[in-house]
Structure 1
Amino acid sequence: MQHFPVTPPAVIRLLWEKRGLTWQLTKRDVVGRYRGSVFGLLWSFFNPLLMLAVYSFVFGYVFKARWGVGGDGKADFAITLFTGMVVFQIFAECINKAPLLIVSNPNFVKKVVFPLEILPVVTCLSALFHAAVSLLVLVLAIILFRGGVPYTGLYLPLLIVPYCLLLLGVSWVLASLGVYIRDIAQSIGLITVVFNFLSPVFYPASALPERLQKILYLNPITFVVEQSRALLIGGHAPDWSGLAVYFAVSLAVFFGGIIWFQRSRKGFADVI
Structure 2
Amino acid sequence: MKDFSISPVTACVSLFRHWQLIVQLTMRDVASRYRGSFAGILWSLIGPLLSLAMYTFVFGIVLRARWGIAGESTFDFALTLFAGLVVHGLISEVIMRAPHLIVGNPSYVKQIVFPLEILPIVSLFSSLFNSAISLGLLLCIWAFTHHGLHPAVLLIPLLMFPLCLIALGIGWAFAATTVYFRDLGQLVSFISAGLLFLSPVFYPASAVPVAIRPVLNLNPLTFVIEGVRGTLINGTVPSLHSYLVYLMISLLVAIIGFAWFQRIRRGFGDVV
> In 2, Cα distance between the equivalents of 1:107 and 1:204?
46
Give the secondary-structure state (helix, strand or coil) at the position aligned to 1:101: helix
| 1:70 Cα deviation from its structure 2 partner | 5.8
Given the alignment of the two structures, is residue 88 of structure 1 paired with residue 92 of structure 2, yes or no? no
Q: Which amino acid aligns with 2:49?
A: L
> In 2, Cα distance between the equivalents of 1:212 and 1:147?
38
> In 2, Cα distance between the equivalents of 1:13 and 1:169?
16
In the alignment, which residue of structure 1 is the partner of 2:264?
264
CA RMSD of aligned residues (A): 1.1
| 1:72 Cα deviation from its structure 2 partner | 2.1
> In 2, Cα distance between the equivalents of 1:100 and 1:71?
46
Give the secondary-structure state (helix, strand or coil) at the position aligned to 2:241: helix
> In 2, Cα distance between the equivalents of 1:207 and 1:11?
40
Give the secondary-structure state (helix, strand or coil) at the position aligned to 2:116: coil
Residues 140-151 of structure 1 mapped to structure 2, 5 A cutoff: 140-151=140-151
In the alignment, which residue of structure 2 is the partner of 1:64?
64
Q: Which runs of 5+ in 2 are unaligned?
A: none
In the alignment, which residue of structure 2 is the partner of 1:188?
188
In the alignment, which residue of structure 2 is the partner of 1:160?
160
In the alignment, which residue of structure 2 is the partner of 1:234?
234
Q: Which moved more, 1:59-68 or 1:141-150?
A: 141-150
Give the secondary-structure state (helix, strand or coil) at the position aligned to 2:177: helix
| 1:211 Cα deviation from its structure 2 partner | 2.1
> In 2, Cα distance between the equivalents of 1:191 and 1:101?
17
**Partner deviation per Cα, 1:84-121 (whole Å, 9 max, x = no partner):** 00000001100000011100001111145210100000
**Partner deviation per Cα, 1:149-177 (whole Å, 9 max, x = no partner):** 11100011111111101110111000011
In the alignment, which residue of structure 1 is the partner of 2:202?
202
Q: TM-score, normalised by structure 1?
A: 0.97
Q: Which moved more, 1:29-38 or 1:103-112?
A: 103-112
| 1:39 Cα deviation from its structure 2 partner | 0.8
Give the secondary-structure state (helix, strand or coil) at the position aligned to 1:4: coil
**How many correspondences in the alignment?**
272
Return structure 1 stretches of 4+ with deviation > 4 angstroms. Answer: none
Q: Which amino acid aligns with 1:118?
A: I
In the alignment, which residue of structure 2 is the partner of 1:212?
212
Q: Which moved more, 1:143-152 or 1:28-37?
A: 143-152
Give the secondary-structure state (helix, strand or coil) at the position aligned to 1:117: helix
Alpha carbons of 1:115 and 1:70: their partners in 2 closer, same or farther (altered >3 Å)? Answer: farther
Residues 40-59 of structure 1 mapped to structure 2, 5 A cutoff: 40-59=40-59
Give the secondary-structure state (helix, strand or coil) at the position aligned to 1:36: coil
> Aligned residues: percent identity?
48
> In 2, Cα distance between the equivalents of 1:83 and 1:107?
38
> In 1, Cα distance between the equivalents of 2:10 and 2:186?
33
Does structure 2 retain, via aligned residues, the 8 Å contact 1:31–1:41? yes
> In 2, Cα distance between the equivalents of 1:239 and 1:200?
19
Q: Which amino acid aligns with 1:265?
A: R
Does structure 2 retain, via aligned residues, the 8 Å contact 1:70–1:234? no
> In 2, Cα distance between the equivalents of 1:227 and 1:70?
19
Alpha carbons of 1:11 and 1:111: their partners in 2 closer, same or farther (altered >3 Å)? Answer: closer
Q: Which amino acid aligns with 2:145?
A: F
> In 2, Cα distance between the equivalents of 1:140 and 1:87?
17
Q: TM-score, normalised by structure 2?
A: 0.97
